[in-house]
Structures are given as C-alpha cells and as structure tokens.
Amino acid sequence: MVSMYAPASIGNFCVGFDSLGAALAPIDGSLLGDVVHVQDAPQDVFECTGAYASFLPSNAQENLAFQCLQHFREFVAPTMPPVALTLEKRLPIGSGLGSSACSVVATFAALDAFAKTALSQIELIELMADFEGKVSGGRHYDNITPCYLGGLQLTAELVPNRAMSVQTPEDWYYVVAYPGFALNTAKARAVLPKEQSTHDAVCFAQRLSAFVLLMQAGRFDEALELMEDPVAEPYRAELIAGFAEAKAALPSIGAELVSISGAGPTLFAICKSHQTAEQCQQWLQENYLYEQGFSHICKLDHFGTREL
C-alpha cells in the first residue's frame, strides 16, 4: 500500500496573487492536509473518510480524487492493476487552505508512486493543475505547487519547471485561522475586478518582483514591508465576517502582517516570535472562530507531499 500526505497551503501569499504559495506545517506536529491510500484490489473501488468526508459528494464519480484515478488509468497508466483508493479528507472544503489541491496532489502522487510511472515534475504539476482547476474555475498553481514541493514557491506556466523556491526566514511563524464557514472559490473570484489599470498592473509587478528578490537576498524585513494585497483582499474582505476586525486588532498584539489565505475565509498572520503567535492565536480563537473553526501556529512545510 502507498499512503501519501499533501499539506495545506496559503495561496496568493498576500503579495503574489495567483503566483506565490506556501505549504504549512503546524508546530504541534499534527497533519494539516489530506492523505490518500492506494493498494491492490480485485477492481477499482473508492472510499472517502475523514472529518470532512460528509461534505463531499457521496457518488464516487463526482469525487475529484476518483476522477483523478480514472484519468490516470486512462491516459497515464492503462496497465496499472485495479486499486482501492481511499481519500482521508482532513481539510474543510472552501477553506482557503488549498483543500481541493490537497486531494488532487495526494492522489496523483500516490498513483504515480504505486504505478511506478516516474512522471516528471512538470508532468505531475500539469496533471494536478488540470484537476484542481475543475474546482477553482481556472488552472492556478499557487496551491498545487507548494502543496507538492513544499516551502514558498513562485509558480506559473512561464516559470521553469513551473516553480522556483523562494528563501524564507526561520523565525517567521504563520498563524492560520479557519473561521468555520466555507467560501466558494468561484464566488470569491467573481467579486474581483475584471480588469486592472496599467498603473495597478505595474505596481503589482514591481511589488512582487521586489519582494522575491529581497527574500532571495535574505532581506526579510524589507520584503515584509512590501506585503500588501491590493488585488484581491479589498474585495474579498467584505465576504469574510470578522476579517476587518482581525486585521485591525492583531498588529496591536504584535503581528507583522494579516492577510487572507487563498480565496478565504481562512486568514493568516505572520509573527516573529512564538509568544506573539500564541497571543494572536488566542485572540483569533476568542473573536474569529465559529463552532466549526480551528487555528494552528505553523512553520512552513519544506517537505511537501510525501509518503507516510
């Protein structure tokens, strides 16, 4: 049996709309992501388990992971023997933590390992982006690539091998808080302006390029000062109850930055000490989370998708 874990991720990473993504690893050692198991079976069968399985379609044909299996068998490994594929759905749907990307990445990585097809990085990422796009409404790499490779990734079709790793400081903590309600990715994308002015487009390019270069140079404080999201956050903030209050309150506690993870409603805060991260988490638990919500203090997951 092959068991593959794929970590949650922060899409956009504030300054890099559709271009930057970061994989997450809770410091308490818990798994924040999905797990897929593949093993021999008399015929192809599929099962979805885990805390959030009930939020997915009960019909296997409608499940993204099973669709990945069907596609893999038809176009990649037609001689692969029948398998039992189990998806442990450990991330909530529509959370802004790359939930659909986790399912897709873990499934294709597990199938590639099981069938010994040895697909290249580009081949796997392209497969993964195709299927994650079925949920998000477009082929966006900023959850797929960090989920698969780990770390903070600059990612796009024009980037060599679809990804370039960006250096990050060891003393940054990432407090993520999922409030407990879903926000449909397509809905969150629909509120964005259809066009950007030339001025705004140039400012975005300047900010993102300067941020990446400063990070690569180890000038992390200067890079942090550039972390601002004028592209999506002003429009999506109105869809997320409590976000404006959190963005106003957490810097006074010591957070260096507060922004939306992916399309939301999860937010993330960057802190430079564990104590500050704990204080921010406590505020979020008391003021941002509903009954089904949760929060984690994280570092970046530099391992990405791996076998358990």
Q: What CATH number is associated with residue 218?
A: 3.30.70.890
The residue out of 149, 166, 183 marking a domain boundary is 166
The residue out of 166, 194, 212 marking a domain boundary is 166
CA–CA separation, 78 and 108 (whole Å): 14
Is residue 140 over pLDDT 90? no
Report yes or no on 308 lying in a domain: no
Report yes or no on 306 lying in a domain: no
pLDDT band (50, 70, 90) for residue 186: confident
Is residue 138 over pLDDT 80? no
Is residue 136 over pLDDT 80? no
Other beta carbons less than 10 A from residue 296's beta carbon? 21
199 and 225 in a single domain? The answer is yes
Report yes or no on 27 lying in a domain: yes
pLDDT digits (tens, 9 = 90+) for 101-122: 999 999 999 999 999 999 999 9
User: Token match 């140079």: residue?
Assistant: 217
Rg (CA), the chain: 19
100 and 225 in a single domain? The answer is no
Check residue 134 and give its pLDDT: 80
Please state the rounded mean pLDDT for residues 139-164: 96
| 137/20: higher pLDDT | 20
69 and 160 in a single domain? The answer is yes
16 and 160 in a single domain? The answer is yes
Contact 104, 67 (CB under 8 A): no
Please state the rounded mean pLDDT for residues 155-173: 96
What range does the domain containing 58 cover? 2-166
